[in-house]
Structure 1
Amino acid sequence: MAKREPALALVEMERELGYGFHSLAHPAEASKRFYSDLRPVADSAYERIKREFEEYQNRNDSKHDENLSQKLLQELDKTQIISHGQNKVIFAQRGRIGFYRFAVDIHYGFGFHLPLLFTEDEACRAMSLHPCGTCAGTPMFFCSLPKEIRHQIYTLALSDGEWRIRDVDVFDKFNLTRGIGDPGGFYFPLRNDLGLLSVNRQMRQEALPLAYRATTFHLDDMDDLLTVLIAVGETGRDNIEALYFPWESRSDLECKWGGGDPGSSGHSLALPNLHVTECVQLLKQCKRLKFMRLYFESDLIEGIAPEIFKADLGIQELRSIRIEKMEIWSLGHEPLEHYSLAHWLKEGMDCSRTLRSE
């Protein structure tokens, strides 16, 4: 069996980097920040330098993005704001040393705030968008059709499909960062099988909402949910109709495990809390959401005390969402609604039941 390479000591990583922890700007103003993978920025010197060192190694192992616009790099020297209606993203450089030195604050008009810490590459990607499509304009005969007819044509041309994150690291590095700089969601790469979205700008703008309605999103956890609902922008959130995702978070689990064995300390029965409020805020902005399938660890539904489950703030926030069709399944893809807790949660989120009671 191959031996695991020993972790480097703090002083060794600082020596290799050429700078130490005390040279880094503190990432937090009023609240904790997160990296683009939603893991919290640690307070400890070792964890901060370890993240810097991992980025340093990644750049040595792969070619650095040398196509970043010099103009964008110059703009990052001062605070930049991207606005879209009541939504805005603020970019501010918090120092000159280290890779992770750009504070990125996402503020949406419905009270959502996510404070992030980006590298120079990530900040540049968020600020650099490229127009979609290859045609200069929409054919005149098509433009002359009434909007209702054009929409009927789009509906016939758009097939139903599914969307998943194939590589979470690639998604966080590229799609999420670019999506942050596109609050309207115009440029999100929804599906490769929908060539209609690449014809030109007008057709994409008109057909994109319908494409979201025809797409079912399958996500691996709440971190994916949070990043996707940011990356798709307002257009995506306004039109997504079907979501499948587990009620668990990999970054939350890592914080609870602390590098240990989750089974030995009972963390498998813990409900997530790290990004719960932000996830629910974004879910409530999915105005056309009609179908949701939530996955829970079956051991949690079977083993957690009912009073703890019902008193959990995340579960209470989740239960305030109203859905036309709601399903609760195990991670093994089996329905859990015969369990009283799952039934209680589904009953509270049932839109039709709520309307009947009113």
Structure 2
Amino acid sequence: MALTLADRAIGAIIGSAVADAAAQPMHWVYDLQKLSQYLAQNPEPEFRPESVNPFYRRETGRQSCYGDQAFVLLESLLECGGLDEEDLKRRTYKFFGPGSEYDTPVNDPYRDKGAPRPQLPIEGPWTQASLKSFIRNVDSGKTETGCVSDTQMDGVAKLAPIVTFYAGKPEMLEKIEDAIRVTQNNDMCVAVTLAAARFLEHFILNGADPDALTAVLKQLNDPNRKNPQELDKAVAGLSRTERFTPNRSVYIITTKLCRNVKNRWNRPFKEPSDWSVVFAGLPGAFQAALHGVLTAVGFEQAVRENMSCGGCSCSRSSFIGACIGAQVGLQGIPASWKSRTSRYGTLLELARSVKVLQRLSW
């Protein structure tokens, strides 16, 4: 039976969260030798019972910091009936700020960078750099609270709720930019995130489409496109690389990139190179995630191959899961994966609430 628009929208929200939770126990594994060992132990690495994350440890089934940001955005959208920047700021500060689960010595936004290195992994969640800057900016009373220097995948990873809410509406890209700049007030971050939003919107509105890349590139090169960004043409160029050749898997294409990570981890980054896609930095991380979407043959395969690349697998999985979820709907996401996602019941209720709020346009 053909999926309805509501089916695809719910699939995007749930797919993003489930994929993020699935990857969380193996998030940020950059040691390729260890990564190979973990994959040899279980070629189906999702929801690994014991975390091997070298930076932080959370119970299997819980979200990464990316998934938690998406959850906060989803709740805000539903509570306010749309984007309310001030409400989003308040909720983000409450969820990640003082007195929250994220409020630990290592996550302290005022922690002295010259202090002794913490013992890793820490118990509990990890606060991203942009959120630390956001907290400091709120504390300082700044109107513009977003981090001006952060160019990581946070915006792309938390897209599912807001794209779902505004898909097909002329104000969608403007609303997304406003939401992203709450924590990441950086032009590169915004341009790449808006390009990612165009892809996700395309799948929500149209379902599976082998010509999705062509359609979005046409949008990015249209002089009359909505909410144009100065970096749109650069982003369009990045989306055309051979990395998206359909007959090559994520693992094959990024193997060379991953092999260089261990040797380059402590070396200064001097110029763009393919291995950068395993990190959370843009634009490389988005290129890798988009490749995972465009070459996917199923939800499980796409997430597993992404995890097999190591690095910032959660941020990439969040976007991959959203795009594939929009194409396969809720029923196309494995039941065993949904049941192992701690927040699944709550997320499903919220996702269905988006459908109710948007019933007039859907």
- Normalised by the length of structure 2, the TM-score is 0.26
> What TM-score results when the alignment is normalised by the length of structure 1?
0.26
Greater Cα radius of gyration, structure 1 or 2: 1
Higher RCO (CA < 8 A, seq sep 6+): 2
Greater percentage in helix: 2
